[in-house]
Structure formats: structure tokens, C-alpha cells
């Protein structure tokens, strides 16, 4: 028997506990050797211990180096711009990886298979902003600084190329706005070109302006393979790409750094349906598969993906967001049934 991996579980807020329960049931059925350490975050943590990101949660992630996280709601007035951003900054999770793969048979774009690699710590999300007073108005002007460093640019572009090599990808497209933002985006593009030269002959390289990229993703997403970009552009484009395959309910995310890796559902906590047992757990389940890949439990991850694909292709266990009437637990049972069938 394999020694189990210690992994932090943050069920999250709203529908988080429901989709976490379903995801864990499927991972267990697949034989994933994981010992879970449940921790608090978001509104649930605020209501329980008085802070949205408890020290105990941070220490648990420090100890295990890996976590699976449901959707978190940032409490209003908590002092955090975002609990998710706080986690990324605390652990320097500089690479956000968002795969997009078509799973639904009726998806607008069949056979999409591309990846957004987003720089996760710099850009406008560095949070360097302030007001400037003028004419007796202390908040007359709001100013934000887009922070782009040579170091941060180099490591995220190199990450994208190494990801491409490790996953058999053919093309890395660097997305920027250097035609307008000559210094910040210009530095990102300059560094990207330099790094790309190191991989010449192994991975193809392309560069595109962000607005043209958004248009071309809508017209022909198949021209892209791996997209690497800075923080805000990555945030926007990753949601657009999720829309190509059916929405955020089918989009997992991985936040990766040297000290830790946190895998997450990228959709919201959906408080309007919380507690009803009807939420679709696909995003968190796919995040769980990314977690298994990271732990080198690839066989279990592959079995789960195959069973999930069969479930969705056959229209089994569809939750209301997919046009069905099944609940979260029924969806999980449908995946487990096909998981068992695949293992026979």
C-alpha cells in the first residue's frame, strides 16, 4: 500500500463544502492515496475564528506544501483585497495554470485543448495604488502602478516553455500590450523573446497583442496551444477561454510556486444555490486531477478524467446548470459508476 500524501483541504464557502464532498468521494473511489487535513478560509473562517485566512491554515499548507481549495468569498471590510490573492502572495505562487479542454458534447467549440499560463504576483494585482489629493478633494485622483520585473517575467515565461516541453505542447504564445505600454509590457515582451530563444528548435514561439488575441480566441481557438501572459491579461483571457468550453464550471486552476502548490475551482461560491445539493463539482474535480498529477498519481488522475468525460458525453447525472435535474451527489455517483466500469 502506498504511503498517503498529506494534503490540506479548504472546502470553502457557499457550495464549496458540497462540491468538496463529491470530489473527495470520487478521488477516494479512484484509489488516490491522500490523507486530508481540513482547514478554514474565507467567510467560513471569518465566522468561526474571526479572520478570513487563519494562521493555522497557512501553517498547514507550509507543512504539507499542497492544498485543494473550494471557492472562497472575501469578507467585506476584512482588510483583504482577496483571500485568494493573499494566499498567492504569502506562498509566492507565481504561476497560475488554467487548462481548457472541451468535455461537453454540445459545446460551441469541440476539441479545444489549450492552456493559459498567467503570472500570478505582479502587474496591477501587485496592489500598488493610492489616491492623490487636489483642490480640497483627498481622493481626486486614483493611481495604480503596473509592476513588471525582469525576474518575474523571466520565471513565468520559462515556466511556460518548460510546461510545454513536459506536456508535449508545440507552441507558446506570449500575449502583451507593448504597443501602448512601452516600458512595462515592453519589458515583459523583451524578456519573453530572450527566453524563447533558449528553446528554439524545441518549442515554437509566437507573440500577440492582447486585444487581437481575444478576437482570435473567439474566431479560431485552435491556433493556440500554451498562452503565457501577465497577471490582469491572464485573468481576463482565462475566463474567456473557459467560456469556449462551457463556462467556469469546467475550469480548474493550479497556483504553483517553489514552496507550495494550491489547486482550486475557479468559479465563485454561488451562495444563491448553497445548501441545495445541486452544484456541479466538475471544476473542483478537475482541480483534484491536477493535484494528482502534481503528486505523480497520474494513473488515478487519468481514470477520473476518462470517467468524467464518459459521464458528460453520455449526459448522465447532469446537474441543473447542465440542463438536468440531478444533484451533486448523483453526479458524483455517475462518475464513480463509470470509474468502476473503466477499471473492470
Q: Which residues are catalytic?
A: 125, 177, 211, 235
In 3D space, the residue among 99, 65, 94, 116 whose CA is nearest the CA of residue 257 turns out to be 94
Distance CA 247, CA 306 (A): 20
- Whether the Cβ atoms of residue 82 and residue 52 lie closer than 8 Å to each other: no
| Nine-digit cell string for 340 | 468502476
| Nine-digit cell string for 310 | 464518459
| Nine-digit cell string for 231 | 497577471
Radius of gyration of the chain (CA): 20
Distance CA 256, CA 291 (A): 11
Based on DSSP, count helices (H) and strands (E) in the chain, helices before strands: 11, 12
In 3D space, the residue among 114, 117, 71 whose CA is nearest the CA of residue 234 turns out to be 117
Residue tagged 493573499 (cell numbers): 86
Amino acid at each position: 500500500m502506498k504511503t498517503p500524501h498529506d494534503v490540506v483541504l479548504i472546502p470553502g464557502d457557499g457550495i464549496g463544502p458540497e462540491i468538496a464532498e463529491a470530489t473527495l468521494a470520487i478521488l477516494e473511489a479512484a484509489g488516490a492515496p491522500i490523507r486530508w487535513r481540513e482547514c478554514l478560509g474565507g467567510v467560513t473562517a471569518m465566522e468561526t475564528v474571526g479572520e478570513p485566512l487563519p494562521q493555522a491554515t497557512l501553517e498547514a499548507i507550509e507543512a504539507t506544501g499542497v492544498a485543494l481549495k473550494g471557492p472562497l468569498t472575501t469578507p467585506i471590510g476584512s482588510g483583504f483585497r482577496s483571500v485568494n490573492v493573499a494566499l498567492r502572495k504569502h506562498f509566492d505562487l507565481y504561476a497560475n495554470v488554467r487548462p481548457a479542454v472541451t468535455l461537453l458534447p454540445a459545446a460551441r467549440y469541440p476539441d479545444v485543448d489549450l492552456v493559459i499560463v498567467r503570472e500570478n504576483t505582479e502587474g496591477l494585482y501587485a496592489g500598488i495604488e493610492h489616491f492623490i489629493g487636489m483642490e480640497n478633494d483627498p481622493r481626486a485622483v486614483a493611481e495604480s502602478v503596473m509592476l513588471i520585473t525582469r525576474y518575474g517575467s523571466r520565471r513565468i515565461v520559462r515556466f511556460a516553455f518548460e510546461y510545454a516541453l513536459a506536456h508535449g505542447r508545440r507552441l507558446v504564445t506570449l500575449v502583451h500590450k507593448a504597443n501602448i505600454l512601452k516600458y512595462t509590457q515592453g519589458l515583459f515582451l523583451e524578456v519573453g523573446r530572450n527566453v524563447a530563444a533558449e528553446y528554439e528548435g524545441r518549442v515554437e514561439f509566437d507573440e500577440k497583442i492582447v486585444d487581437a488575441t481575444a478576437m482570435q480566441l473567439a474566431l479560431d481557438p485552435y491556433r493556440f496551444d500554451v498562452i503565457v501572459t501577465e497577471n490582469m491579461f491572464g485573468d481576463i483571457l482565462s475566463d474567456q477561454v473557459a467560456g469556449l468550453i462551457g463556462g467556469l464550471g469546467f475550469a480548474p486552476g493550479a497556483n504553483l510556486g517553489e514552496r507550495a502548490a494550491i489547486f482550486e475551482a475557479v468559479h465563485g461560491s454561488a451562495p444563491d444555490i448553497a445548501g441545495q445539493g445541486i452544484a456541479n463539482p466538475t471544476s473542483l474535480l478537475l482541480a483534484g486531477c491536477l493535484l494528482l498529477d502534481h503528486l505523480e498519481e497520474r494513473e488515478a488522475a487519468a481514470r477520473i478524467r476518462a470517467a468524467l468525460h464518459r459521464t458528460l458525453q453520455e449526459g448522465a447525472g447532469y446537474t441543473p446548470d447542465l440542463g438536468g435535474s440531478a444533484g451533486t451527489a448523483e453526479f458524483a455517483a455517475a462518475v464513480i459508476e463509470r470509474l468502476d466500469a473503466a477499471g473492470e
